Amino acid sequence: MLEDKKPQLTPISELGEFGLIKHLTENFSIKNSSTERSIGDDAAIINPEGKKVVITSDVLAEGVHFNLGYVPLKHLGYKAVVVNLSDIAAMNAVPTQILVSMAVSNRFPVEALDEIYDGIYRACEKYNVDLVGGDTTSSTSGLVITITAIGLENSENLVTRNGAKTNDLLVVTGDLGGAYMGLQILEREHSVYLANPNMQPEMEGYDYILERQLKPEARTDIKKTLEELDIKPTSMIDVSDGLASEILHLSDQSKVGFRLYEEKIPLDTLTITTADEFNLNPAMCALSGGEDYELLFTISPNDYEKLRNHPDFTVIGHAVDLEQGNFMVLRGSNELAQITAQGWDAFLKK
């Protein structure tokens, strides 16, 4: 991809490490009063302003988490920020600062890093977070980006994974499985391209799921929506690894089991038709696909009326006693299938 670009490219060595950091970060402005000191010192200074600090980190490694054959660099920068902000949102906290650390091989020109930072910049603008530091080093192979995100929130508003109680309702935002189907399209078209570079990729009509994969958004908006509805979740997690795996995390931490209703899992029409095209069960894509970055949470049954008709939320199940385990009620029957980290087990329980 990079080889296709003919305009002259700048080797990183031309700027040097400090010149590069300055070049990449000089456009970023500070938006939060909690950011006391930012890039340029030995460390940033954050003033939590009486709130609790939540902090999280994610590594994205080339060849493991992304393939530069089909992931545009700008989207990569954006997504690297978003996946961290999603973790902050899952604590019901407000993201305020990020740090960006990169190991980059000299096969990347400055212009490639500019694109990544353009994506990082857009995410900072959209989500109102400050870039306050990071680290830059060379790598002998490929690109690794590690982002650390910081969020602040009053202690009483924080939501963890361990507060779900028996009979609580299980709720999810948005729709699921789209990011996984988007990845299937990208991989299919990429292998067609590798086999014959003259073939035009067929991406038309798949916009929604491609965007779910390449340019996901973090549900930082849900915090306010829940406040307006006067609902505080009893437990919460973001859907990064797939619904099944997240349900098991809530179960494990909260010491309850869950009943999930297959027919309630929210799926976009395009996710369903594309899954059909690939001979996949769309519910399976939601359960084991991942990267949807929606929020999964539990609420007291007393709060049901408050969100029942809200377009952002779908009630997909409820908590049961831990001994009753984690099972999905299959569509059109009362049969139960055990939820496993990979999706669900073909073995049914009565």
Strands 256-261 and 326-329: parallel
Residue with tokens 């989207």: 75
CA-to-CA distance for 183 and 67, rounded, in angstroms?
11
Nearer to Mg ion, 106 or 137 (CB): 137
Of 12, 25, 103, 307, the one binding ligand ADP by CB under 6 A: 25
305 binds ligand ADP (CB under 6 A): no
End-to-end CA distance of the chain: 53
42 binds ligand ADP (CB under 6 A): yes
Nearer to ligand ADP, 94 or 131 (CB): 131
Nearer to Mg ion, 136 or 157 (CB): 136
Nearer to ligand ADP, 139 or 157 (CB): 139
Q: Is 318 annotated as a binding residue?
A: no
Q: Is 4 annotated as a binding residue?
A: no
Q: Is 240 annotated as a binding residue?
A: yes
| Strand positions, DSSP E, 114-157 | 130-138, 143-153
Q: Map residues 121-160 to x or -, x wherever contact with Mg ion holds by CB under 5 A.
A: --------------x-------------------------
Nearer to ligand ADP, 144 or 316 (CB): 144
Dihedral of CA atoms 293, 294, 297, 303 in degrees, nearest 10, equals 160
Distances (CA, A) of 323 to 255, 256, 258, 327: 9, 8, 10, 12
135 binds ligand ADP (CB under 6 A): yes
Only segment of 65-73, 104-112, 128-136, 239-247 that touches ligand ADP (CB under 6 A): 128-136
The neighbouring-strand residues paired with 147 are 58, 100
Measured CA angle at 270 (ends 268, 276), to 5 deg: 110
Residue 314 contacts which entry, ligand ADP, Mg ion, none (Cβ below 5-8 A, type-dependent)? none
Q: Map residues 302-331 to x or -, x wherever contact with Mg ion holds by CB under 5 A.
A: ------------------------------
CA-to-CA distance for 179 and 241, rounded, in angstroms?
11
CA-to-CA distance for 71 and 82, rounded, in angstroms?
15
Residue 207: is it exposed, middle or buried by C-beta count within 10 angstroms (0-12/13-18/19+)?
exposed
102 binds ligand ADP (CB under 6 A): yes
Task: Specify the length of the chain in residues.
Answer: 350
Where along the sequence are the contacts to ligand ADP (CB under 6 A)?
21, 25, 39-42, 100, 102, 131, 133-136
Residue ranges at the known binding site for Mg(2+): 42, 56-58, 87, 135, 238, 241
